[in-house]
Amino acid sequence: MTNQPDHDNSPLLLGIKLGTARTAVVSSRGYRQLTPSVVGYPRDIIAIRLLGKTQVFGDQALAHKSALVLYHPLRDGLAADSGKSNYNAGSELLQQIISEARQGESGDISAVIAVPARTSPAARQTLQQMAAQFCRNALILPEPYLVAYHLNRLANCLLVDIGAGGVTVCAIKGSAPLPQDQAVLPRGGDYLDQQLQALVNQHHQGLHISLTQARQIKEQYGYVGAAPEQVQLTLRAKGKPGLYDLTDELGAVCGSIVPEVVEQLASLLPSFDPEDQETALQHIYLTGGGSRIRRLAGMIAEGMHEYGPVRVSCVDEPEYGGAEGALQLAAELPPADWQEFGLANRLPEAGS
Ligand SMILES: Nc1ncnc2c1ncn2[C@@H]1O[C@H](COP(=O)(O)OP(=O)(O)OP(=O)(O)O)[C@@H](O)[C@H]1O
Ligand SMILES: [Mg+2]
């Protein structure tokens, strides 16, 4: 007898994290996928011939970027005023990731969707309507809260989500965070890439690294504090290869986020009851792709030394924390209660 996956007729649940750079999806059937939040449309008829389709998503879109017009729908927060093409691209991206997550299964889907904490109410509303086209139930919540849910730390903790589009510092106090419990810094990983590109090109005559190269260098070698090693790379200036030392530029750029994060942690700390502040300081978590910058947790802890014993840790899988928390919540809170819980959405009964 073969071991078939047991679908037990339970409705398919999805946890989705929509991000500026990457969208993560996990399902109640064990499906997991991380996709760049990019949609590409062929530039012309030749490009359509090359690709064999009229829209391309994620890694495939990035791989063929010269043949495509690319949209990064989450970069502008999906706000209603962010433009019709951007809206359409966002909707097609959501449809695509949900359809892949189905893995051929039909039937109703309920999804909890994590969005960046800075997402405006208008953009959330837009997203709610978008999700209603593909899901029977959808609940949209800020990513840091769902990461806290995944960590099972729903009170007295501080979360720092270092994404591509921004950094959010969030005080978790037992319920979905209010605007005053969150500090949003607009300078996230994308900003670091721009800064690194500018600094490297300025310091090394004739060298012009691209934003993609800057991001790749940051992701592979990024650090704060004392350099773990010299970062010497072979790069091309005017087509000719040469060895360049980028250690100082990388340290300066990555280190620039530390003082801002420390400042926001310090400003949110007094919002906890005085008797809870010590516990909150012991539970500071870094999440989001930027939390992988080496030595970041140590430098943030050092920056907070005036506040007594502090423990800063990085979550295990920063790429998936928001989606995993979303799936957990979807499994634990019956969809019928989502309406009351937040910005919920229900489609009319089939055939009604
Ligand atoms: N190893 C790494 N070191 C440093 N930065 C990294 C690393 N891996 C990924 N990143 C950066 O993390 C960012 C993507 O993280 P994440 O997926 O959490 O963002 P997002 O959720 O798409 O963005 P946002 O939450 O701002 O909408 C990018 O800027 C990426 O370059
Ligand atoms: Mg994010």
So what's the pLDDT on residue 175? 80
Q: In a mutational test of the pocket of ligand 1, which residue from 22, 76, 97 has the highest number of ligand atoms less than 8 Å from its CB? A: 22
Sign of the four-CA dihedral 77, 81, 82, 88: positive
So what's the pLDDT on residue 350? 35
**Distance from C-alpha of 324 to C-alpha of 128, rounded to nearest angstrom:** 20
Q: Give yes or no for residue 224 CB within 6 A of ligand 1.
A: no
Share the mean pLDDT of the chain. Answer: 90
- 19 CA to centre of ligand 2 in angstroms: 5
Whether residue 128 has pLDDT greater than 50: yes
- 252 CA to centre of ligand 1 in angstroms: 18
Residue 61 lies in a domain: yes
Q: Residue range 200-216: average pLDDT? A: 94
Chosen domain end from 233, 255, 277: 255
- CATH number, residue 247: 3.30.420.40
pLDDT tens digits, one per residue of 139-182: 999 999 999 999 999 999 999 999 999 999 999 998 878 888 99
Atom of ligand 1 nearest to the CA of 215: 31
Same domain, 120 and 53: yes
pLDDT band at 189 (very low <50, low <70, confident <90, very high): very high
- Burial label for 30, CB within 10 Å (0-12, 13-18, 19+), is exposed
Chosen domain end from 236, 255, 274: 255
Q: What percent of the chain has pLDDT over 70?
A: 92
Q: Residue range 63-71: average pLDDT? A: 93
- 180 CA to centre of ligand 2 in angstroms: 19
Nearest CA to ligand 1 atom 21: 19
So what's the pLDDT on residue 342? 59
Residue 237 lies in a domain: yes
pLDDT tens digits, one per residue of 252-270: 999 999 999 999 999 999 9
So what's the pLDDT on residue 80? 46
Q: Give yes or no for residue 164 CB within 6 A of ligand 1.
A: yes
So what's the pLDDT on residue 54? 92
Q: Give yes or no for residue 165 CB within 6 A of ligand 1.
A: yes
So what's the pLDDT on residue 78? 59
- 313 CA to centre of ligand 1 in angstroms: 17
So what's the pLDDT on residue 179? 84
Q: Which domain holds residue 75?
A: 12-147+320-346
Domain count, the chain: 2
Residue 282 lies in a domain: no
So what's the pLDDT on residue 195? 98
Q: In a mutational test of the pocket of ligand 1, which residue from 76, 216, 218, 314 has the highest number of ligand atoms less than 8 Å from its CB? A: 218
So what's the pLDDT on residue 7? 57
Residue 171 lies in a domain: no
Q: Which of 61-70, 76-85, 302-311 has the lowest mean pLDDT?
A: 76-85
Vertex 301, ends 177 and 160: CA angle to 5°?
25
pLDDT tens digits, one per residue of 81-125: 456 677 889 999 999 999 999 999 999 999 999 999 888 888 888
So what's the pLDDT on residue 351? 34
Contact 261, 192 (CB under 8 A): no
Same domain, 124 and 217: no
Q: Give yes or no for residue 73 CB within 6 A of ligand 1.
A: no
Q: In a mutational test of the pocket of ligand 1, which residue from 292, 293, 296, 314 has the highest number of ligand atoms less than 8 Å from its CB? A: 292
- 261 CA to centre of ligand 2 in angstroms: 16
pLDDT tens digits, one per residue of 321-346: 999 999 999 999 988 788 776 544 33
* Phi, psi (deg, nearest 5) at residue 3: -90, 90
* CA 144 vs CA 47, 115, 130, 295, 320: distances in Å: 39, 9, 22, 21, 12
Closest by CA position to 62, among listed 98, 36, 97? 36
Residue 178 lies in a domain: no
